[in-house]
Amino acid sequence: MPAVRRTAFFFPLLALLAGCDGPAPADVPNLDSPGKTIVCLGDSITSGVGAEPGQPYPALLSSQLGTEVISQGVPGDTAEEGLARVDQALAADPWLVVVELGGNDILNRVPPERTEAALRQIVQRLLAAKVAVVLVEVEVPFAGRYAEIYSRLGDELNVPVLDDTLGEILTDASLKADPIHPNARGHEVLAAALAEEIEPIVEARREIGK
């Protein structure tokens, strides 16, 4: 696999932003998945709103990992609307799905219990389909009980959670295109943090011959 390409600017930033809770790479469920691709299932952030053309985080993640990453981001989607697209994600033959949803639930004041139920069903359906999962935590100052959802699901379902990173981006004006979307630099930070967490999972998958 080609080395991850970074500039010197990223190293202190990644030290601040990157973080992941959950199982060790070798213990991630479904490392032996028969799938072939990585899918990013999410909302406007995944679709690239705020990024330069060709620079949303899924495209940058693909470049850094040296493998195909399919973006399935739909602006405005809540967790329940993302749940309705799980079959579409599975149709792309993934071995791993990055789930980035929940921000629109906060903006639309969807009850956190509904958000958690939808995210739980997304993860459970993906796991049942022999797909590995990484959750992206959405934590901002006004998130309240929503912020607790991700670590709870990570612990209960034994899946990795990329914590802090998106919340740090969305509270740093230099990394935002507008109040709710990362700019190009913010997408670079998110992609780099995800690459840092997914690379050991890719290596663990390779070690079992996949």
Active site residues: 44, 178, 181
- Amino acid in the structure at residue 23: P
Enter the pTM of the model. Answer: 0.88
Report yes or no on 29 lying in a domain: yes
Instruction: Look at the chain and report how many structural domains it folds into.
Output: 1
Contact at 8 Å (CB) between 112 and 84?
no
Does the pLDDT at position 134 exceed 80?
Answer: yes
Does the pLDDT at position 128 exceed 80?
Answer: yes
Report yes or no on 202 lying in a domain: yes
Q: What is the CATH number of the domain that holds 63?
A: 3.40.50.1110
Report yes or no on 55 lying in a domain: yes
Instruction: Look at residue 5 in the predicted model and tell me its pLDDT.
Output: 34
Q: What tens digit of pLDDT does each residue of 169-208 get?
A: 999 999 999 989 999 999 999 999 999 999 999 999 999 9
Q: What tens digit of pLDDT does each residue of 22-37 get?
A: 788 889 999 999 999 9
Q: Average pLDDT of the chain?
A: 89
CA–CA dist 160, 124 (Å, integer): 14
Report yes or no on 63 lying in a domain: yes
DSSP string, 97-161: EEEE--HHHHHTT--HHHHHHHHHHHHHHHHHTT-EEEEEP---TT-GGGHHHHHHHHHHHT--E
Report yes or no on 133 lying in a domain: yes
